[in-house]
Structure 1
Amino acid sequence: MATVAQIVDALEQRYRPQWAEPWDAVGLSVGDPSATVSTVAWALDATQATVEQALAAGAELLVTHHPLFLDAVHSVATTSARGRVVQQLIANGCALFSAHTNADRANPGVSDALALALAVEPVEPLEALQGAAVGIGLGRIGRIGPMSGQQFIDHVAAALGVGPAGVRAAGSIDRTVTTVAVCGGAGASAIDAAARAGVGAYVTADISHHRAIDALEQYGSAAPLLIDAGHFATERPWLTMAADLLVSDLASQGSTVEQVVLSAITDPWSAQATRRGQE
């Protein structure tokens, strides 16, 4: 076992708070640092479903990628969804910690896990963080065995087990993909970096209509194949990687804490229309 404080320290060695965006709210948001932890649960989001699963697993600490609070909070009364989550955690002695944009930039971090899930060998950050150690930064650039654009799209869908929203792609599929950039979660801001790197495809999420058009117009035939595989699907691989790393880090300190990656799906997109003419 270990204390919440010991686990937080181990996590923040991996996911330094100073790597987070200024607007982000990472770290311990609920719980007593001196409390003892025998089980850590992992999820992308702190929702009622994930909290219930964490408590059922006997977890005293829930680690999420997305912070519960990213805007001003004036109440945690049970009249709000987030208030109910907080009260449920406190009532059951479960702490809450999040590693968000600091985990996005870590090495290994969210994009390394995505690259490995896609069998892409990560080589370097897509956008290196100035002033940080080599390898720290947003996204990853890597290599993959040659395949056509359509084959790579299908490969992404199969590797990530994407939900009903599926995988969307913008740009020409009439190309051979050997170099790939990836960025777990919302990575539209790094499209220009992917284009400058000359990659054949860029896998991320939350690419808007206007951003896709702008990129295709700006870079023409040099634009990477833009693949939007969904926010949840592109970040979920990190959970298992991070849990395994925490086991190793705590073991080096002589502590053993059980890790549980929760099965709850927090992807809000749960259905799509059936195309006309299809069953």
Structure 2
Amino acid sequence: MTDTAVAAPTVREVVAALDARYPRSWAEQWDRVGPVLGDFDLPVETVLCVVDCVPETVEEAVAAGAGLIVAHHPLLLKGVSSVAPDTYKGRIVHRLIKADVALYVAHTNADVASPGVSDALAARLDLVMLRPLVPAAAGSPAEGEGRGAGRVGELAAPMRLADLATFAAGRLPATAAGVRAAGDPDRLIRTLAVCGGAGDSFLRDATAVGADAYLCADLRHHPASEHLAAGGPALLDVAHWASERPWLDEVAGWLRAQFGVTALVSDLDTDPWTVHAVSSNKENHL
């Protein structure tokens, strides 16, 4: 009998493929992407895709026998002077190294990719005729081929803002924060702009492209209020983790097709907000 088994790729080979799909040059200058730690020569049979590399997702990877974690958010975004085991990030680094689990990050380079983070978010909402909310700048490394921040698309059928909020809540991963909407509940929404992750820096862009509504995470009180007062699109605010979790399915599917590895997706909700209470007090307070 001929052995037709295909050897598992090495960490180095998977990193090279991820770098080709999400070039590090596409990342913002302040970002920290690419391989973080791990032995490049070790084989990878199982990959765990996560939004956040935190102790809980690390233990998921160890329990699954993963040789690599592909994370969206950088573990070491800001400079550190120590990875001693008595520090939060140091404990994570030591646990990964001892368990022979490599770590790779695709962050803002995956945000602008096509397909990228916002494409996966748009797909969850059945948007069609997608185009970048903010196309990659002319002359930038990511220029062309539909790349850029956020996406704008058309809903399969127009719906009221209130109904769109309910629809989005049902399509996106459940979190305690849920989905909030700002604007006239009866406003009819046809064109929707979306952005995975924090998106209030693109409020003016959502207005400029003529979107009826804009969905993203981490909207703040004053920017949102001033945007609406200026006649901008209605707003939908979702949990940061929920807006980026859909991308994990897409990249896991790509890894399976590319290498034949077992690519798992973490459904562990790493959003920091864990309780949502609605007040029943109708009194006005001065």
Q: Please report the TM-score for the alignment, with normalisation by the length of structure 2.
A: 0.91
Cα distance in 1 for partners of 2:101, 2:270 equals 19
Give the drift of 1:173.
2.4
The question of 1:140 aligning with 2:151 is answered: yes
Selected match of 2:252 from 229, 243, 258: 243
- Write out aligned runs for 1:1-279 (5 A): 1-130=8-137, 131=139, 132-144=143-155, 145-218=157-230, 220=231, 223-250=232-259, 256-276=260-280
What whole-Å deviation, never above 9, does each CA across 1:50-73 have from its counterpart, x for those lacking one? Answer: 000001000010110001011111
Residue 5 of structure 2 corresponds to: none
User: Deviation at 1:174?
Assistant: 2.6
Whether contact under 8 Å (2:114, 2:145) holds in the other structure is no
Larger relative contact order, structure 1 or 2 (CA cutoff 8 Å, min sep 6) = 1
Cα displacement (A) at 1:122: 4.7
Which residues of structure 2 form unaligned runs of 5+? 1-7, 282-286
RMSD: 1.4
- Give 1:167 deviation, angstroms: 1.2
| Whole-angstrom CA distance in 1 between matches of 2:145 and 2:261 | 30
8 Å Cα contact 2:173-2:245 kept in structure 1: no
| Gaps in structure 1 of 5+ consecutive residues | 251-255
Q: Distance in 2 between matches of 1:143 and 1:273?
A: 33
State, as a whole percentage, how many aligned pairs show the same letter. Answer: 45
Q: Secondary structure at the match of 1:147?
A: strand
Aligned length: 270
Asked if 2 retains the 8 angstrom alpha-carbon contact of 1:10 and 1:246, the reply is: no
Is the CA contact 1:5–1:34 (under 8 Å) kept in the aligned structure 2? yes
Partners of 1:200 and 1:186 lie apart in 2 by: 19
Q: What is the TM-score with the length of structure 1 in the denominator?
A: 0.93
- Comparing 123-132 and 20-29, the one that deviates more: 123-132
Alpha-carbon distance in structure 2 between the residues aligned to 1:135 and 1:52? 37
